[in-house]
Structure 1
Amino acid sequence: MEFIEDDDGVAMQTPLRAILPRSTHNEDHEYHYHVNNFESHDESGFTASLVINVKAEDDAKKWMSEFAESSSTTWRVMRTCPTAKKYVLFKKIYRCHHGQQRRAKEGTSRHSKDTGCCAKLTLTVRRTVTQSGRKSKNSDPHIQTHPTLVKLEWKHNHVISIPAALKYRDASPETCAKLEELFKNGNSPASALNILELELQIQDPDKYVMNCADRSICPDLHFCYR
């Protein structure tokens, strides 16, 4: 992972470095970042604006998936914005899944997952050339090499890396693929889950308890029966 930044900003951006993905899963693309703005809010988190060397909608969605994994967070689409094809190829606003999108009805209690979290991320893929083939006139000097813009409001009101939070994460595509393969080999949902848990214990005994609590890599039995 490479940052294009001023030396004065490195220390302030350490929390940001810790949560950004370095490359794609198969390592065929290394992510490069330029941080436009970073503002710390002490214990409440930080806000940041940065650009990435990602040029297509599918690649931006892949980055979003990898960001969720590298930051141990789960995001839901809050809004899909209409795109002005002349300037923008793709734009979506995401919210932390611990934030409730709709207000609860009177007399009903909140789900334990809903903490009212207001963390938000806006992902925009900008055009580098116009439809006529000319270079974009956008004033951002990095748009040709780093056309994807991320605006991040990292203001989680809950602890992220604890079992109580990790148990609500979505099962990852890799985990689903493992389960499907185990089912094809004749395993029941219960035995397939036992195999996943055993693999986690063998791979990293020290992190076994935490990994078993992370639903993205070790889903619950109810999910296995779906």
Structure 2
Amino acid sequence: MTVSKCEICDDEEEDVERDVIYEKLEIVICNILPQAILPAEYHHEVCKHEHIDEVNYTCFLRLKLTTEEDVQKWLEAFQRSSSLTWRKSKTYPNSGRYNTYRVDMRCQHNTRSSKPKPGKGTKNTGCPATMNLVLKRSITNSKTQDQHVKHGLLFNVRLKNEHNHRITCADALRRRDVSEDSIAKLRDLFEHGHSPSSALETIKHDLAEEHGEQYVYVCADRFMCPDLQFCYRSYYKTFQKVYGASSGELMYVDLEKRVLYMR
């Protein structure tokens, strides 16, 4: 099960309606989006939950993660399963005596940018959704009274799921960040001689084979399927520095430099 109530909190605070609340929470989390909002490969223990309205809610989750790398993998999986993209709003280089990692995040639809130029759209809706991630220190023989830390629940997630925009519409999906997996696939294809356009077609072909009838929805999600402009940027940023220009006047300039170097 992806979600369960925290037994530690349940022991500390008795409530006859608590089971009903958690049952409703599981229904909300599993049905608020077309797919589960939380990644199924992780187990989340819910310490607190509060409805904002029929759709939105706040909750406090704990997981048994131990390193910052684990946290980044969870965040990647969460963005994949929820179709949401988050940006850092505040970092804490010195996380404190009891934390090893801490960051505050905001929905990507809260860009804090100025007003858009006339005739140009914007993804900024001033979305109030936020998420706070904290990884506690694991200290051997610690005298801490926090039972969650003692039981290995070191990773805390405070989620304010209050979005003021549609999440799975085409306009929102095409603005998502390209996933690290997709970027890695692009780099591998470039290394094997693909151009930006042929690399993108290969990724689309693989997605079509993997997702079948759902491909039409997957290919509209930039997280899974990068756009051609991103493929070109990735190609030139990564490989032009290594292999030089591929055609045109720049190719001759690059060739001349190589000849002079060989002399």
TM-score by length of 1: 0.84
**AA matched with 1:58:** E
Q: Where does residue 20 of structure 1 map in the other structure?
A: 38
2-structure distance, mates of 1:58, 1:87: 18
Displacement of 1:205 in angstroms is 3.3
Task: Please identify runs of 4+ aligned residues in structure 1 that moved more than 6 A.
Answer: none
Q: Deviations over 1:147-203 (max 9, x none)?
A: 111100011111112221110111111111211222222221111112222222233
Residue type matched to 1:57 in 2? Answer: E
Q: Aligned residue for 1:26?
A: none
Structure 1 residue 84: Cα displacement: 4.8
Residue in structure 2 matched with residue 124 of structure 1 by the alignment: 134
**8 Å Cα contact 2:113-2:124 kept in structure 1:** no
Tell me how many residue pairs correspond in the alignment: 213
Letter in 1 for 2:19: D
Report the Cα offset of residue 11 of structure 1. 2.2
Are 1:93 and 2:101 an aligned pair? no
Distance apart, 1:204 and its partner CA: 2.5
Report the AA paired with residue 11 of structure 1: K
Summarize the Cα distance change of 1:55–1:202 in structure 2 as closer, same or farther, 3 Å threshold: closer
> How far did 1:108 drift?
4.5
RMSD between aligned residues:
2.2
Asked if structure 2 preserves the Cα contact closer than 8 Å seen for 1:77 and 1:94, the reply is: yes
Secondary structure in structure 2 of the residue aligned to 1:58: helix
Within the alignment, does 1:142 sit opposite 2:148 as a pair? yes
Whether contact under 8 Å (2:203, 2:225) holds in the other structure is yes
Distance in 1 between residues matched to 2:194 and 2:95, nearest whole Å: 49
CA distance in 1, matches of 2:37, 2:126: 22
2-structure distance, mates of 1:215, 1:119: 21
Structure 2 Cα separation of the partners of residues 21 and 136 of structure 1: 33
Q: Please state if 1:64 is matched with 2:71.
A: no
Q: Once the two structures are superposed, what CA deviation does each residue of 1:120-155 show, in whole Å capped at 9, x if it has no partner?
A: 1000011232xxx4415243x222221111100011
1:170 lines up with 2:177 in the alignment = yes
Q: Write the distance in 2 (CA, Å) between the matches of 1:187 and 1:74.
A: 29
Structure possessing the higher relative contact order (Cα contacts under 8 Å, 6 or more residues apart) = 1
SS of residue in 1 equivalent to 2:44: strand
**Stretches of structure 2 lacking an aligned partner (at least 5 in a row):** 6-17, 31-35, 234-263
Matched, 1:192 2:199: yes
The letter for the 2-side match of 1:7 is: D
Answer yes or no: is the 8 Å Cα contact 1:75–1:94 preserved in 2: yes
Displacement of 1:208 in angstroms is 1.9
Alignment correspondent of 1:50: 61
2:122 corresponds to 1:115:
no
Conservation of the 8 A alpha-carbon contact between 1:33 and 1:146: no
Contact 2:170 2:220 in 1 (8 A): yes
- If each structure's helix is expressed as a fraction of its own residues, which one has the higher value? 2
Unaligned runs of 5+ in 1: 24-30
> 1:10 aligned to 2:10?
no
Q: Pick one of 34, 40, 45 that aligns with 2:51.
A: 40
Provide the C-alpha distance between the structure 2 equivalents of 1:40 and 1:193, rounded to a whole number of angstroms.
42
Note closer, same or farther for the CA distance 1:156–1:82 as it changes in structure 2 (3 Å cut).
same
1:75 maps to which of 81, 86, 98? 86
SS in 2 for 1:98: coil
